Chains A and B, each alone.
Chain A
Amino acid sequence: VNEKRIGAVFSALGDATRRHVVECLAEEGALTATELAERVPVTRQAIAKHLSTLAEAGLVASEPQGREVRYHLTPGPMSEAVGWIADTGAEWDSRLRRLRDHFAR
């Protein structure tokens, strides 16, 4: 499940408009689709579609507030991908240190 999720995350972030939406939500916390359409130069309908792609990837969650729905970031899945890079990088750092020591002897 996690592996598929990471693929969906990177796929969702492969689109410049969706990255713009993510940036707006990162800067301002929670916004409605209408508010997002004021900040990102596409229609409200397009925003709604991008939000649903981001939600499917687990990057965005919605919350009804009165008559409106507000969207906010849920960065957990991004941390997963970032975590793989950090863990794998740390493994190679220690392996390559041993390789270097092996030849320094």
Chain B
Amino acid sequence: MVAQLQGICNQAVAYYTCGVRIERRITLPVGSADAWAGILDFSSWFCDEHALDRVEAGARVEFRWADGVSRAAVFEDVEPPHTLSFRWLPFARDDSGRASPRPQARVEITLEPNGDGVDVIVIERRLDRAEAIA
């Protein structure tokens, strides 16, 4: 019990110092341009269906999953083929259209050439922490 509490505290303190965020990195065996196009084809990896008009700052994108849940986001930084970021709208909808709150968060996807391939770095960061502290 004590060890468990300590583990949770240590984790929470670690998250405090580096922020409430997750970071992942994968390497794709293709060039940046192909990786960029693949990433924008969201329904092939990120969700089951997606709807977007334009990929530019301020444009809206909607993701839908097979379980009927949908979430929308707004693009922020769009610099092909290097950086794509979006801010989640703070709610999700279920298949009956009912909205439920979701955390304020921002996703940043960065592409870095690596030999013949490209590294894709994803950072999802909570935005509510800084606001709460300020």
Contact = CB atoms under 8 A, between A and B. Distances in A.
Q: Do A and B come from one complex?
A: yes
A47 interface: no
B33 interface: no
B70 to A, nearest CB: 15
A99 B8 contact: no
Contacts of B5: 26, 73, 75
A7 B9 contact: no
Contacts of A69: none
Interface of A: 3-4, 6-11, 13-14, 19, 22-23, 26-27, 29, 73, 75, 78-79, 81-82, 84-85, 88-89, 92-93, 95-96, 98-100, 102-104
Contacts of B26: 96, 99-100
Contacts of A26: 2, 5-6, 9
A28 B16 CA distance: 23
Contacts of B132: 4, 6-8, 10-11
B51 interface: no
Given A7-B133, A96-B120, A99-B26, A82 B2 contact: no
18 contacts: A3-B104, A6-B132, A10-B20, A10-B129, A10-B132, A13-B16, A19-B9, A27-B6, A73-B9, A78-B9, A78-B11, A82-B11, A88-B22, A95-B46, A96-B120, A99-B39, A100-B28, A103-B29
Given A88-B22, A98-B44, A102-B45, A23 B9 contact: yes
Interface in B97-120: 101, 103-105, 120
Contacts of A93: 24
A92 B38 CA distance: 16
Contacts of A23: 6, 9
Interface size class of B (residues with CB under 8 A): 35 or more
A102 B28 CA distance: 10
B13 interface: yes
B128 A6 contact: yes
A79 B4 CA distance: 11
A73 B1 CA distance: 11
Contacts of A3: 101, 103-104, 128
